[in-house]
A and B are shown apart, each in its own frame.
Chain A
Amino acid sequence: MLLENLAAKVTAAHSLRALCKQLDLDPGEIDFVFSCSEEAVGDRYNRGGGNLAKAIAEDVGCGNASGCDVKAFCAGPMYAMVQAASMIQSGVAKRVAVVAGGSLAKLGMKFESHVKKGMPILEDMLGSFAAILSAAKPGQVCMRLDSAAFHPVRAGGSAQAMAEELAEKPLAKLGMKLTDVDRYGVELHNPEITLPSGSGDVPRTNYLTLAALAVMRGQITKNQMEDFVRSRGMLGYAPTQGHIPSAIVYLGHAKTALECGAIRNALLMAKGSLFLGRMTQLSDGCSFLVDKNDV
C-alpha cells in the first residue's frame, strides 16, 4: 500500500514539475494543489486520511501552497478541476494546480486475458497529469464554470441518465444542443488494451450513447450515428489507469485544438463507478465545457 501511495505521489509530482518547467513557472507561484489520485493515504487507524496533495506540493517545491485531495473514483479529476476553478472564480486563490498520480494497482489488472492470447502484459504504464489554472484572460482557452454539471442522486445510474445529466442538460442551459459540441472527451481507455481483455471499446460505447441521445432528441438520424462518433469522438489512447483516461486526458489536446481554431469547444465528461466502493449502488459523473474566453 505504501508503494501504491508512493507511486501516485511521485508520478503526480513528476507531472507538476514538468509542467512548471514547460511554463517556465516558479512552483512558488502556485497557491493551492488539488490531488485527485486513486490511493488511500494513511494506515490502519487513519486509512484514506489523505492530503497527498500537500506531499506533492512539498516535493515539487510549491512552498506557498497548501492542498487537499478530491476523491470521486474516476470522476475525481473532473471534480478537482471544477473545485480549482471555483476557488479562482471566487477569489480564494489565484493559481491552482490539479494533479493526479498513477495507480500502481491497475498495472496488469487483466494480465491473464492478454497473456492467454499470446500478448505481452499491455497494462504496463502508470499515467499521471497536471494542470494549472488561473483566471482566463480574453481570448484564452477556458473552463466554462457555467457549464459544470454533476450527476444528481435522483437521476439513477442508467447510461441514458448519465448522458442527460452530463451532456444534454448542461448544454441546454447554455442554449446548446448535443450537435453544437465539436468534440467530446469521454473515457478514453485504449481499446487495444481493453478489447483483448473483454472490456470492450469504452470510448466508442460512450460516443454511441451520446449519438443515440441525439437521435432520440431528433438532432440527428439513426444512420448519422457513426458520423457523430467519428467527427465528435476519437479513438481511445490512454492507459487503463482509471481516473487518468476519464476525460481529463483530453484536456491538453483540447487546449491545443481550441488555440489553433480546429474546434470551437469541447465537452469533457467523466464517470465514476461509485457502486464499486459498496457504499452505494449509484453511479456518478462530472462534466464541463471548454472553449475560448471570448467575453
Chain B
Amino acid sequence: MNFENQGVIKRLADQYGPENLTVVLGNGEANGVEVFAETVTEGDPSFAGPLAGVALKIPVYHMLEEDVMGQVPEKLREEKLQLSALVIDIEPMHEVLEASRAKL
C-alpha cells in the first residue's frame, strides 16, 4: 500500500481509534491483497512505510465480498458494481481476507 495512504490511515486511526474503522479494498485481483490486509492489521510487511511495525488490527474487506456488496442498494449495486463483478474473481480474495479477519 502506498506510503501516503498508509500515513493517512495511521492518522485516522489516531483520530477515530482503530476499533472504529474498517478498510474496504477494490483490488482487481487477489495478487497483492494479502500484503494490503497485513499492512492495516499487523503493519507494513516491507517495513518501509508509515505503518511499519504498527499493528492497527483494522478489519479488511473487499467491496465485492458478499457481506459488503450485499449491503449496497440493488440499483446502486447494478449501476456501479456489475462490471467489476464480472471482471474480478472474488473467491481467492475472500479466502485471504476471511483468514485475515479471523486472526483479529
Contact = CB atoms under 8 A, between A and B. Distances in A.
A220 B25 CA distance: 29
B84 A225 contact: no
Interface residues of A, number: 22
A195 interface: yes
Contact of A209 (B32, B46, B87): B87
A159 B48 contact: no
Contacts of B82: 216
Interface stretch (A30-38, A146-154, A199-207): A199-207
A158 interface: yes
A215 B83 CA distance: 9
A200 B28 contact: yes
Interface string B69-82: 00000000000101
A43 B29 CA distance: 40
B24 interface: no
A222 interface: yes
B80 A158 contact: yes
Interface in A60-78: none
Contact of B87 (A195, A199, A205): A205
B78 to A, nearest CB: 10
Interface residues of B, number: 14
A158 B48 CA distance: 30
Contacts of B48: 112
Contact of B35 (A198, A211, A212, A222): A198
A212 B32 contact: no
Interface of A, helix, strand, loop or mixed by DSSP: helix
A275 to B, nearest CB: 11
A216 B29 contact: no
A134 to B, nearest CB: 39
Contact of B86 (A112, A195, A212): A212
A200 B86 contact: no
Contacts of B35: 198
A200 B30 CA distance: 8
A209 B88 CA distance: 9
B83 A112 contact: no
Contact of B83 (A113, A160, A199, A201): A160
Nearest to B2: A276
Given A112-B46, A112-B48, A200 B31 contact: yes
Interface in A125-175: 158-160, 163
A215 B82 CA distance: 11
Interface string A208-222: 110111011000001
Contact of B31 (A112, A199, A212): A199
A158 B85 CA distance: 13
B29 A225 contact: no
A74 to B, nearest CB: 16
A69 to B, nearest CB: 26
Interface of A: 112-113, 158-160, 163, 195, 197-201, 205, 208-209, 211-213, 215-216, 222, 225
30 contacts: A112-B46, A158-B80, A158-B83, A159-B28, A159-B83, A159-B87, A160-B83, A195-B31, A198-B31, A198-B35, A199-B31, A199-B32, A200-B27, A200-B31, A201-B29, A201-B31, A205-B28, A205-B29, A205-B87, A208-B87, A209-B83, A209-B87, A211-B86, A211-B87, A212-B83, A212-B87, A213-B83, A215-B86, A216-B83, A225-B86
Given A112-B46, A199-B32, 12 more contacts: A195-B31, A198-B35, A199-B31, A200-B29, A205-B87, A208-B86, A211-B87, A212-B83, A215-B86, A216-B82, A222-B86, A225-B86
